[in-house]
Amino acid sequence: MNKKVAVILSGCGVYDGAEIHESVITLLRLDQRGALVQCFAPDIEQMHVVDHFSGDETGETRNVLVESARIARGEIKDVRELHAADYDALIIPGGFGAAKNLSDFAIAGANCTVQPDVLKAAQGFVSAQKPVGLMCIAPAMAAKIFGQGITCTIGKDEETAAALTKMGAVHQECEVSEIVEDSQHKLVTTPAYMLAQSISQAASGIYKLVDRVLELAQH
């Protein structure tokens, strides 16, 4: 039976939304493995909008759900409609949107909070003991979603790892091509573009993350 997987996006573009390569690789691998996928995003304004050519803020306002729809080819729902009972697993790609729109980690660091609708949806999977995959900077939300003692990785960035540790997570260094699994909590994480120097490097760990999340969804 095909597994049903929810994917939460955070906009469209590495600097102010979901990392596009990570998102597409995730959706590709899920499709290759025969999973049935539904994308979600919060219906909120982005923290800010960044010109991805110049790197400058533009002063525009954009909606996270509307921008995420670009990646999902329009097939997306408000994250408030996401209920763990309807799905077998959850995956959240990275990009600064995870730290700016899904949470305020980019500003608040270890004192961050997760956007309430996203937090409620994600904690539904934790309560149901269903697997969750977080990649790139998204594991910065792990301690807020799972609680103290959760094991995860953001790769090797010492400053970010220190913030995760301060929040109560157990950080484990990891190569770009590998995953870190907290088997007790069914959380799988991989560094992706926290370390990747190419799209194929990012894909190496993301494929393993997706495959493992689907395996855990069997149990």
Name 175's bridge partners. none
**Pairing mode, if any, of strands 170-171 and 180-182?**
unpaired
How much is the average pLDDT of 2-8? 97
pLDDT digits (tens, 9 = 90+) for 44-55: 999 999 999 999
pLDDT digits (tens, 9 = 90+) for 193-204: 999 999 999 999
Please report, for the domain that includes residue 53, its CATH number.
3.40.50.880
Residue numbers annotated as active site: 136
Residues 183, 190: Cα–Cα separation, whole Å: 14
Average pLDDT across the chain, whole number? 97
- How many other C-beta atoms lie within 10 A of the C-beta of residue 199? 14
Q: Quick check: 118 pLDDT over 90? A: yes
When pLDDT is cut at 50, 70 and 90, the band that residue 39 belongs to is very high
Residues 12, 23: Cα–Cα separation, whole Å: 9
Residues 36, 31: Cα–Cα separation, whole Å: 7
pLDDT digits (tens, 9 = 90+) for 162-179: 999 999 999 999 999 999
Q: pTM higher than 0.75, yes or no?
A: yes
Q: Which domain holds residue 40?
A: 4-216
Domain count, the chain: 1
pLDDT digits (tens, 9 = 90+) for 128-153: 999 999 999 999 999 999 999 999 99
Q: Contact at 8 Å (CB) between 44 and 74? A: no
- How many other C-beta atoms lie within 10 A of the C-beta of residue 124? 18
> For the chain, what percent of residues have pLDDT higher than 90?
99
pLDDT at 219: 66
pLDDT at 159: 94
Helix (H, G, I), strand (E, B) or coil at 190: strand
